[in-house]
Amino acid sequence: MSDTQIQPVIQVRNVSKTFGNVRRALIDVSVEIGAGEMVALIGASGSGKSTLIRHIAGLVVADKGGEGGEITVLGERVQSGGKLSRDVAHMRRRLGVIFQQFNLVPRLTVLTNVLAGRLGRMPKWRGTLMQFSHLEKQLAMQALSRVGIEFTARQRASTLSGGQQQRAAIARCLVQESEAILADEPIASLDPASARRVMEILSDINRSEGTAVLVSLHQVEYARRYCKRTIAMRDGRVVFDGPSHDLTTDFLREIYGEASEELILPDAEDFAEAHEQAEKRLIASA
């Protein structure tokens, strides 16, 4: 038995979700993410990726009844039988969540946005007054430096590029000392170079800290490149859960039909080449 089966960091059991009586966004979904794993969640638009991630984060409640319908994260119950756990706030403090649209406060400085990651770990009064200690500020600067944008610390978040904003959101997770990270299409609105940088940073956090990462992606190339394992969804169901390298173009066509085109980068070869060059540059500069 693997560690994944012994102690999952994320466990979703028989979760279904219906929006407005008809739209079944999740149908009996069960998945487990083990300690130290970095897993991609792929699927065409509307397949249920965001809905699943939002359920895991405790932002959406699953359908009532049926068997199971239970989600636990880091050993804490998030929801069960269509009811959120009372202690969900405690779990959220331990879980980092990254969204496609970054979720930074545009008018605040990058440093303050990153420091917001500490709010769950400090007394409420200090949080309300935004009184961060010297040590906390140092932590935030270290996190910004780790994601390569320490020079933006004093700028307003609104002045950053999309890629930089996403890196600031990751720095916020670092400062939060997230024990697991959910990333909901973190690269969907980024150019290819920024997308690769963000994926490299997530991958580095996964490898160095052993933080489990579940990342939803539109393009399978990124899943193959950065995640050993992929969970693929179609119409609210898990249709594949296994090694990312098994997701060949032919196999994708088999499970998605025409919708597979949406998941394959038209320039997949350029993608591979750009990667090789980036890796060579890294080795040369080391």
Ligand X SMILES: Nc1ncnc2c1ncn2[C@@H]1O[C@H](COP(=O)(O)OP(=O)(O)OP(=O)(O)O)[C@@H](O)[C@H]1O
**Does 43 help bind ligand X (rule: CB under 6 A)?**
yes
| 3-state secondary structure labels for all residues of the chain | CCHHHHCEEEEEEEEEEEECCCEEEEEEEEEEEECCCEEEEECCCCCCHHHHHHHHCCCCCCCCCCCCCEEEECCEEEEECCEECCCHHHHHHHEEEEECCCCCCCCCEHHHHHHHHHHHHCCHHHHHCCCCCHHHHHHHHHHHHHCCCHHHCCCEHHHCCHHHHHHHHHHHHHHHCCCEEEEECCCCCCCHHHHHHHHHHHHHHHHHHCCEEEEEECCHHHHHHHCCEEEEEECCEEEEEEEHHHCCHHHHHHHHHHHHHHHCCCCHHHHHHHHHHHHHHHHHHC
Stretch in the footprint of ligand X (CB under 6 A) among 45-53, 78-86, 109-117, 166-174 = 45-53
Q: 7, 30, 45, 158: which one contacts ligand X (CB under 6 A)? A: 45
**Does 55 help bind ligand X (rule: CB under 6 A)?**
no
Fill in the per-residue mask, 2 to 21: x = in contact with ligand X (CB under 6 A), - = not in contact.
Answer: -----------------xx-
Q: 8, 34, 48, 163: which one contacts ligand X (CB under 6 A)? A: 48
Cβ nearer to ligand X, comparing 46 with 192: 46
Residues 204-233 that bind ligand X (CB under 6 A): none
Smallest distance, Å, CB 23 to ligand X?
Answer: 5
Count residues near ligand X (CB under 6 A).
12
Smallest distance, Å, CB 25 to ligand X?
Answer: 3
Q: 11, 16, 47, 165: which one contacts ligand X (CB under 6 A)? A: 47
**Does 59 help bind ligand X (rule: CB under 6 A)?**
no
**Does 261 help bind ligand X (rule: CB under 6 A)?**
no
